Structure 1
Amino acid sequence: MTIANQHWDPDRYRQNAGFVAELGMPVVELLAPQRGERILDLGCGDGALTAKLAAMGCVVTGCDASVDQIRKAREDGLDAHVMDGQALTFEGEFDAVFSNAALHWMKKPDAVISGVAKALKPGGRFVGEFGGAGNVQTLRTALRTAVAVHGVDPDAADPWYFPTVEDYRARLEAAGFNVRSIELIERPTPLPGDVGGWLATFGESFLNRLDPTIREGTVTALRASLRPVLTDPDGVWIADYVRLRFSAVLA
């Protein structure tokens, strides 16, 4: 995924966000992949779930706009391609399109859904999970406030699209999908370390707009303000995740 002022380092991602793929297995179960099916993993990242689908006997193609993540996926032997999910070029090739924790980085949802529809065979499935309305609201508000204090437009810095169920259902149906299921799931998520790792991995679009001389101080201030809200009694950081999970079939 290519985001202004945001890049994806595979090693940093696995260290600070390895939980993303681990928590993606319920979406794989919702997909119910069948051996021999052709599946597109949209926003595949380093290919952690792509590999799981391939191990189930599926013929899987991964795509992601991050050159570094695709390089890592290819090193692991996966069929993976650098491609913007908002400008897919596939036509009638796949039995299913699968996506985990990627669609909220694509701020042109109708372009994504249209590309998915073109990529699918008739009757193909589109199954995914991504940030929904209210996702990381505490972290998002803190980041927006932090950059605004320094004269940065928070709307320009904000890289995310977190829709409601009603919004996303309407977009899917407008593109010719029958929605089988769609729901918001509150999922408070323990982080593998300090919130600074999360901010470094996911908050670059905000933080990289600040002068380098004040970034470290800004992260320190964010950590201090967020600690009373996002840590449990044992001091474990808990991110306020809300996921939108859906399954749809091309009519």
Structure 2
Amino acid sequence: MSETKWDPVKYNQVADFVAKLGEPLLNLLAPKLSDSILDVGCGDGSLTEKIKPLCQHVLGIDASAEMVLAAKAKGLNALVKDANDLDFNEQFDGVFSNAALHWMTTPKAVISGIYRSLKPQGRFVAEFGGFGNAGKIVDALTTCLEREGILYQNPWYFPTAEAYSDLLVKQGFELEYIDLFDRFTPLPEHLSEWLEAFGQAFFTNVDAKHKKHIIDEITNLLKPDLLVNGQWHVDYVRLRVKAFKPQRR
């Protein structure tokens, strides 16, 4: 997982839409009152909080201690845990994840851990960045950094539906649904704030003054495509999936 540092308050200022746009996933998860649910990459618990009254037990996990503290402040059961190294064994009826799996760059390990975590007939429901996600932003970022001769780390994993389906099936999942779709999303603040929050890994080798210069250059490049009627947007592409762990034979 990337070394991105999360500030829960700033995150909600820049990206409060993330949890709101993830709410339809709850219908796909369809929690039952008898269920035990694991929320992978729960963040500050905004969606975990909505799952809680719908099931018997929900546990949120996140690699960010700051986000887990924010989730606990909402009265949620949450742990600091890396999803690349899950150690649960058939404890959950459902595993849920919204806007998190694209930060986890060892997908085989994550999928394996999710599979082990599920009871037989348990379901895995997720949405995250898919192939082409924020493509114009990524292109502008890499173009500007490479032009300046700056080494950078791309922290994201954006698979095609075919590639992710293949990983799930090879792990043993039965795939019910997978969809890759565009979501051109308005931002509540300037694109520079989004870049500061989500693009940290790209700027590890850049000092603050130079970073501001590069971000200004990036936003100028992106104005024709992403600034619409005075409001910045992100060219999101999302991958939504539902799969089941089969019953033992």
TM-score range, shorter chain: over 0.9
Q: What SS does the aligned partner of 1:244 have?
A: strand
Please tell me whether the aligned partners of residues 130 and 244 of structure 1 are also in contact (alpha carbons under 8 angstroms). yes
Partner residue, 2:199: 203
Between stretches 25-34 and 124-133, larger displacement belongs to: 25-34
Aligned-residue sequence identity (percent) comes to 45
Partner residue, 2:236: 241
TM-score when normalising by structure 1: 0.95
Partner residue, 2:180: 184
Question: Which letter maps to 1:65?
Answer: A
State the alpha-carbon separation in 1 of the partners of residues 55 and 30 from structure 2: 12
Question: Which letter maps to 1:210?
Answer: V
State the alpha-carbon separation in 1 of the partners of residues 122 and 151 from structure 2: 40
Question: Which letter maps to 1:217?
Answer: H
State the alpha-carbon separation in 2 of the partners of residues 60 and 201 from structure 1: 28
Please tell me whether the aligned partners of residues 147 and 210 of structure 1 are also in contact (alpha carbons under 8 angstroms). no
State the alpha-carbon separation in 1 of the partners of residues 186 and 21 from structure 2: 11
Partner residue, 2:245: 250
How many residue pairs match? The answer is 246
Partner residue, 1:41: 39
- TM-superposed CA distance for 1:62, in Å, is 0.2
TM-score when normalising by structure 2: 0.96
1:65-106: per-residue Cα shift (whole Å, max 9, x none)?
001000111111110000111111111100000000000000
Partner residue, 2:2: 3
Between stretches 139-148 and 191-200, larger displacement belongs to: 139-148
Partner residue, 1:120: 118
State the alpha-carbon separation in 2 of the partners of residues 50 and 138 from structure 1: 31
Question: Which letter maps to 2:196?
Answer: A
State the alpha-carbon separation in 1 of the partners of residues 150 and 41 from structure 2: 28
State the alpha-carbon separation in 1 of the partners of residues 23 and 196 from structure 2: 25
Between stretches 234-243 and 168-177, larger displacement belongs to: 234-243
Q: What SS does the aligned partner of 1:78 have?
A: coil
Question: Which letter maps to 2:236?
Answer: Y
- TM-superposed CA distance for 1:235, in Å, is 1.1
Question: Which letter maps to 2:231?
Answer: V
Moved over 4 A (4+): none
Q: Are residues 1:19 and 2:14 paired?
A: no
In structure 2, the gaps of 5 or more residues are none
Question: Which letter maps to 1:100?
Answer: N
Please tell me whether the aligned partners of residues 175 and 242 of structure 2 are also in contact (alpha carbons under 8 angstroms). yes
Partner residue, 1:136: 134
